[in-house]
Every structure is written in structure tokens, then in C-alpha cells.
Amino acid sequence: MYNLCFMGREAFLDYSPTIFNEIKASYDPQAKGVIVVLDSREADYVKSKYGDSVEICILAEFMDAHWDEFTLEKLCEYEKKYDASPMWKYIYTDRFLINRDYDYCVHTAAGLFAFWEYVFTIYKIDFYFDEVIATLFSYAAYLVGKKTGAQFYSLLLMRSVGMDLTHHYILNDPYEMIYDMPKDYMDRQYSKEQLEAADKFLTEFEEKHSKPAFMKFSGKVPKFKAKFLILPFFWIRQRFFNPHTKDKGNYIYYRDYETAFDEVDCYKRYKKSKKYYNKADLSKKFVYYPLHLQPEASTIVCAQKYEKQLYFLDNLAKSVPADTLIYAKEHYSFLGSRDNSFYEALKQYPNIVLIDPWEDSFSLIQNCQCVATLTGTAGQEAMMLRRPVIMGGDILYENAPGVMRIEDIYGNYESAMASWEKPSREDIIKYLAAYMSCARPGNCYVLSEKRLEPDNIKLLAKSMFDYFQEKKPS
């Protein structure tokens, strides 16, 4: 019998209880489930649909009841108790907390550790399922669970192997690593079928340069919408009549009305940003740097040192040879999300050129001296095309052939490029065979409507239960 805890907020309100009920029905009739939600609104929804099949723990209620106990002294206590030193490292991984004041951060951080300590010890949790770590809400659970025995895990779609909406892998650390990806993949033996499947995918990728299927959900030009006209009324409703946005214990929704005009701001910023974009001159020597969305797990967790991307670009700009430019390309999925002051700052660097987001990424990869990235998919794509890759963060393909993980880019670009050895095509095939062997059937993409289909839920439940059996046999 397993005691299982699931994150239940936002898009997981149906997803998590449904998977738990499938695990209980098909694999572990005695399993006990706890769903963690943010507020009473989410709790009422889960209760109305799933009744007493799961226990419900409400973060906001716990935080509000104990708010005055969450002092700086308490936070320092948790910092030592859960090996979370320096604590501010973890606070700065939270995209909601980073814009709050000092006292609020202290109270909330202490409260999150206290909350997970309560949940994991009271319910004796064996495994805790969450999204990829991108908040202190999740990171605190990971750290507390390491001490209490509640093992964090998550499901993530496969990247760049044509399986992203059909297969997933399991991770159990903050850096999106495949937990069972063998480090000695080059020395392992693979079946004829595995090698043929990897070779087939690589051949198709080399010929078509297909983008990940999940990209069809993004990449839209911001446009004026009629709903912009009613946003002031929405702001008033959220600001004055929604109790959840005024609840300091409900920290993810706290003061959520401040984001009411985000879509309008994106539209305005995009309109102004177009003057900064340039066409790429492929005849020049250049390093290709695809910009990351901020704040997201890919930077604030997996590349925390360079989370301020201008800092990475500043170091890189001072490290490339005199005849080499840096082409920094905005991602067309995130148009308007970045303040134009960032582009103004880039203009101060003579050897950095901001590239139009609609320029073909694969042409840039094929013609560049190397791809420099923190954790982006472009690095994985460049690796498959056997182009040099410099990585400044930690992500699942960092040990792939031809990928150079560099902790400090300043002054190290030329030596890295001089030591780079082009991998063989067979090396890439071996890597892909190992990578694809970690794929598990089931679509876990949060924006996919097929995620909740019964057959898909069965696949995800089986994947989870198989993982439980491997990591903690009954």
C-alpha cells in the first residue's frame, strides 16, 4: 500500500485525482491519496467531483492559521533542518515570490516548509507528484521530502524525438533530468530495433528539421482583442471582490489582479519591439543564442547563475573572437513577454545582434560557429545535427555527445571551441537509442485535451505505479 500525494492546483485539479483513482482501481486498492490545493475554491471543486476518494489539504488555510509563527528564526531553523542553505537560493527560484517584499518572502518561505513538513509526516507520504519545479511551493516539497521519505517525481514530455505528445519520461530532481538515463550510454549494447528506431528518427530530423509537436500550441503574434476593453472591470472584480487575491496565505493567487493587463502589455511591447529586430547575415561568423522565456524553470531553477540572461550575454560578448558576432534571437512563442528595456540594453553591445524571431532557427544552427544556450531545446537540436553546443545550465541532454557544460563562460569560449571534437553520427544514434528507451507511453502535456482521456490516464497511472515499484517495492 502506498501513501500518495498529488499537487492539485490549476490544470491538475482533474488530472491528479483521476490518475490516483486509476492507480487505486487497477494496481493498489489500499492506496491512500492526498491532493494538495491552494485554496477553498479548488478544494470545493475536487470535493464535488471526487468525494471522499482523496484527502484534501489546503495551503492557504494552513498558512493563514499559522502566519504569525512563520518568523525569520523559523525560516533559519528550516534552512538547517532541510539542508536548504542558502535559503535565498531557493526563494529566488519562485516566479511568484521574486517580486514580493522581504517580510512577505520570509513568512511565505517558512510557511511552505512548515506546510510540507505537516503533510508529509501526518499522512506518511511515500511519493509526491508535482509539475516540474518552478516555485518554492514545489522546491520546498522536494527538500522536505528528502528528509521525511516522500519522494518527489514528475512527468515531462519527451523533447525533440517525435514523441512529445505521445510519450513522457519520469524525473525526480529539480533539473528535469531523466532519472533512469544511463550515464554510460556510449558503452552499452542496444538492440537492432532500438538502433534502427534512433537512426530513423535522426534521418527524418536531418531531412525535415521537424519542430516539437507541442510548439503548435504556441508561437502566435500578439494582436488587439476586443476583451481588452473590459479588462478594467475584470481588474476591479479581482481587486475588490475576489477574496483569494486578498489572501496573503494563498501566495500564488495573492494580488493576482496585478496581472490583469499582462496580455495588453504584451501586445504593446511587441508592437514597439519590432524596431529592434534584425535579419541574420549568415555569411558572418556568429554564435547563436536563442533567448529563454523569463521567469521559467528553464532559467530560474536549471540555470540560476545566468537567470538574468543579460549577465550570460555580457560574459559571452567579452569572450568571443574579434571576427565573431552573437546572434540573440527572441523566441516567437514569447513575443511581447519581455520588457523592451532588455533590447535597449542589448543595443549597448556592438557584437550582439538581436535577430527577428521569425528567422529560421535551423538555418542559424547550421551556419553558426556554435549554439550557446542555458537549457534550451535548440541545444538538443544542434547536438543532433552535430554542431558545437555550449550549455550554461543543467538540463536532461547535458551529457549528450558534443555538448560542453561550462560553469563560467567568461574567458572560456575560445578554449572550449578549440577542444571540441565533433561526435560521429553513430555517437548520436547511441545517445538517442538510450534516450528513447526511457520513453514511457502517455501524453502528459498540460495543454493537451487528450491528457484526460481514459486510455491516456491508464497509461500514465501504469507509468507511475511501475516507478513506485522500482523505487520503493511494497
Residues of the chain with CATH 3.40.50.2000: 272-434
| CA-to-CA dists, residue 189 to 230, 428, 432, 433, 466, angstroms | 61, 14, 13, 10, 24
Q: Name the pLDDT band for 209 (thresholds 50, 70, 90).
A: confident
What pLDDT sits at residue 455? 97
pLDDT at position 472 is 85
**Residue-level pLDDT at 210:** 63
* Position 116 pLDDT exceeds 70: yes
Least trusted range by pLDDT, from 52-61, 98-107, 160-169, 437-446: 160-169
- In this predicted structure, the answer to whether residue 379 has a pLDDT above a threshold of 60 is yes
pLDDT score of 215 more than 80: no
129 φ/ψ angles, rounded to the nearest 5 degrees: -100, 135
Give 288-298 pLDDT, tens digit per residue: 999 998 888 89
Is residue 235 within 8 Å of residue 257, measured between CB atoms? yes
Which pLDDT does position 372 carry in this prediction?
98
Q: Note the pLDDT of residue 72.
A: 98
Q: Is the pLDDT of residue 218 over 80?
A: no
**Has residue 216 got a pLDDT over 70?**
no
pLDDT tens digits, residue range 12-24? 999 999 999 999 9
The confidence band for 220, taking pLDDT boundaries of 50, 70 and 90, is confident
Whether pLDDT at 197 is above 60: yes
The whole-number average pLDDT for the span 203-222 is 72
pLDDT tier at 159, thresholds 50, 70, 90: confident
pLDDT-based confidence at 165, cuts 50/70/90?
Answer: confident
Phi and psi at 159, nearest 5°, equal -105, 130
CATH architecture of the region 272-434 = 3-Layer(aba) Sandwich (3.40)
Kindly state the average pLDDT of the residues 145-156: 97
**How many CB atoms are located within 10 Å of the residue 452 CB?**
15
Per-residue model confidence (pLDDT) at position 474: 55
In this prediction, what percent of the chain has a pLDDT beyond 90?
86
* Mean pLDDT of all residues in 192-217: 81
Residue 217: pLDDT above 70? no
Provide the whole-model pTM: 0.93
3 state SS for the chain: CCEEEEECCCCHHHHHHHHHHHHHHHCCCCCEEEEEECCHHHHHHHHHHHCCCCEEEEHHHHHHHHHHHCCHHHHHHHHHHCCCCCHHHHHCCCCCCCCCCHHHHHHHHHHHHHHHHHHHHHCCCCEEECCCCCCHHHHHHHHHHHHHCCEEEEEEECCCCCCCCCEEEEECCCCCCCCCCCCCHHHCCCCHHHHHHHHHHHHHHHHHCCCCHHHHHCCCCCCCCHHHHHHHHHHHHHHHHCHHHHCCCCCCCCCHHHHCCHHHHHHHHHHHHHHHCECCCCCCEEEEEECCCCCCHHHHCCCHHHCCHHHHHHHHHCCCCCCEEEEEECCHHHCCCCCHHHHHHHCCCCCEEEECCCCCHHHHHHHCCEEEECCCHHHHHHHHCCCCEEECCCCCCCCCCCEEECCCCCCCHHHHHHHCCCCCHHHHHHHHHHHHHCCEECCCCCCCHHHHCHHHHHHHHHHHHHHHHHHCCC
Tell whether the model's pLDDT for residue 213 goes beyond 60.
no
Looking at per-residue pLDDT, the higher value among 184 and 293 belongs to 184
C-alpha cell of 260?
490583469
Mean pLDDT of 419-441: 96
Average pLDDT, the chain: 94
Question: Of 84, 82, 96, which Cα lies nearest the Cα of 134?
Answer: 96
User: Looking at the predicted structure, is the pLDDT value of residue 236 above 90?
Assistant: yes
CATH value of 3-180+439-471 in 3.40.50, 2.30.42, 1.25.40, 2.60.220: 3.40.50
